[in-house]
Amino acid sequence: MCLLFPAGPTWFSASIPIGSHRRTSVTWVFTPVTTEITSLDTENIDDILNNADVALVNFYADWCRFSQMLHPIFEEASNVIKEEYPNENQVVFARVDCDQHSDIAQRYRISKYPTLKLFRNGMMMKREYRGQRSVKALADYIRQQKSDPIQELHDLAEITTLDRSKRNIIGYFEQKDSENYRVFERVANILHDDCAFLAAFGAVSKPERYSGDNIIYKPPGHSAPDMVYLGSMTNFDGTYNWIQDKCVPLVREITFENGEELTEEGLPFLILFHMKEDTESLEIFQNEVARQLISEKGTINFLHADCDKFRHPLLHIQKTPADCPVIAIDSFRHMYVFGDFRDVL
């Protein structure tokens, strides 16, 4: 890839183990290209993306040889998918020349070329495409995105066998062909990487629909009680915000696998470094973030990290695992250490 400028915490990229970066192998086998990729600009980008069920957008720069190498692969993948999804708005392959449209690049925080981002009905998904740059891999990725993210329940007894290590969202509907379910399906398409989505219909769901269609959240574990959505089920924003709040925890773990993804959200980090077995400090941190800093959600990423795995970042702030738990802010320019962990109370 071609870097536009350093993005995110320098300590993180410096501490990623060798061999852990994503694969960027390229397959140089093509058939004749027949599809024109949609070029996006400030005039058409919102209209095209808002009307596309799924859009894969290639943010590129002509001077970057990796961008040049991807063009024919991207075009051929578009040909393959167009045959399977011929409807104009089912799947859109589009591209943005970031030199010509730097305002769009800034809007989506593009810091390297080429970057492939997925959109659903105009909403950018937080996970960019990081797979192999081949026709087959890109086509398989789109097929996966078009698959149904919701598991249908045919018997309510199936709920007793759910994987309770996951966050489960269950919808109970009278009919599948309803506005309530269409909104639920849109939300599931966006958040299926964060939660497991299930649904029951008709007679199967009737015992759970004593007050009409409803959505419940089953938290991880067996002790936490279920939570019921009390808002309008035809209001997408309300439904999405409620489910997102349940699916995406306030304090997330940063690892070598998700660090680049978290960095690309463009928010500074507030990190608790703790030993893996030190769950007490983590619980205190989670509770105090929820109590004191909930209003900052969306402007700061609240994270926790394994001290043992992140020895190198700790060295940047003159700490070792023996000093943990340690709290620090990473603004992507400087790291600021919180004086004493016990002072969070």
Compute the half-sphere exposure of residue 116: CA atoms within 13 Å on the CB side of its CA.
23
Domain ranges, residue 235 = 150-247
Number of domains present in the structure of the chain: 3
Amino acid 277: pLDDT: 95
What residue has token string 């960019």?
128
Question: Does residue 28 lie within any of the structural domains?
Answer: no
Whether the per-residue pLDDT at 30 is higher than 60: the answer is no
For 202, other C-beta atoms within 10 Å of its C-beta total 11
> Taking CA 93 as the corner, what is the angle to CA 90 and CA 96, rounded to the nearest 5 degrees?
135
pLDDT range class, residue 10, cuts 50, 70, 90: low
Average confidence (pLDDT) over 266-277: 94
Question: Does residue 32 lie within any of the structural domains?
Answer: no
Question: Edge-to-edge strand order for the sheet containing 91-97?
Answer: 38-39, 91-97, 54-60, 115-120, 123-124
Q: Is this model's pTM higher than 0.85 or not? A: no
- Boundary of a domain, candidates 91, 113, 146: 146
Residue-wise pLDDT for 104-152, tens only, equals 999 998 988 999 999 998 999 888 898 999 999 999 999 999 999 999 9
Q: Which residue in 46, 40, 54 sits closest to 94, CA to CA? A: 40
Question: Does residue 19 lie within any of the structural domains?
Answer: no
- Boundary of a domain, candidates 146, 177, 207: 146
Question: Does residue 20 lie within any of the structural domains?
Answer: no
pLDDT range class, residue 29, cuts 50, 70, 90: very low
Decide: 30 and 135 in contact? Cβ < 8 Å: yes
For 135, other C-beta atoms within 10 Å of its C-beta total 22
The whole-angstrom separation of Cα 289 and Cα 251 is 8
Residue-wise pLDDT for 227-255, tens only, equals 999 999 999 999 999 999 899 889 999 99
Residues 257 and 242 both lie in one domain: no
Question: Does residue 292 lie within any of the structural domains?
Answer: yes
Residues 129 and 182 both lie in one domain: no
- Boundary of a domain, candidates 125, 146, 167: 146
Q: Which residue in 187, 191, 196 sits closest to 166, CA to CA? A: 196
Residues 258 and 241 both lie in one domain: no
Residue-wise pLDDT for 33-43, tens only, equals 456 799 999 99
Max CA distance (Å), the chain: 65
CATH assignment at residue 216: 3.40.30.10
Would you state the structure tokens that stand for residue 266, as one six-digit string? 């463009």
Whether the per-residue pLDDT at 71 is higher than 50: the answer is yes
Residue-wise pLDDT for 299-339, tens only, equals 999 999 999 999 988 998 999 999 999 999 998 888 899 99
